[in-house]
Amino acid sequence: MELKTVKYNYCNLVSNKQDIQKFKEEISVSNIIYLFYNNSECLYIGETGTSLNDRCYKHTPKESDKPWFKEGNLIHIIKLDEKIDIIARQALESSFILAYRPKYNKKG
């Protein structure tokens, strides 16, 4: 497992093509658990087998339209070992949700 931290400013992502391109590159990691933060407050925890870039910009509904994306300024991305499948990834996600009780998770 690896931990990656990505800082961002939502207003800059909306208005600056260079910032959004750099951001998309930083979040193009697959088989992950991700935690959206506003400073030290955990807003949302999710998991995906695809990249967070896909979740934010290609899926419907898009994560980038969600309040945790707009309110956040930091994402912790936990890159999981390729041996970890969807069942294990979802179990880890649930454990993180129980531990952190994020503002926007329905499970939390």
CATH number at residue 64: 3.40.1440
61 φ, ψ (degrees, to nearest 5): -75, 150
Task: Tell me, yes or no, whether 107 lies in a domain.
Answer: no
pLDDT tens string 65-98: 889 999 999 999 999 999 999 999 999 999 999 9
pTM equals 0.89
Are 21 and 27 in contact by the 8 Å Cβ rule? The answer is: no
Domain containing residue 53: 2-100
pLDDT tens string 17-57: 888 899 999 999 999 999 999 999 999 999 999 999 888 88
Question: Residue 3 carries which side chain, given as an amino acid letter?
Answer: L
Question: Residue 49 carries which side chain, given as an amino acid letter?
Answer: G
Work out how many domains the chain is built from and give that number.
Answer: 1
CA-angle at 17, arms to 14 and 19, nearest 5°: 80
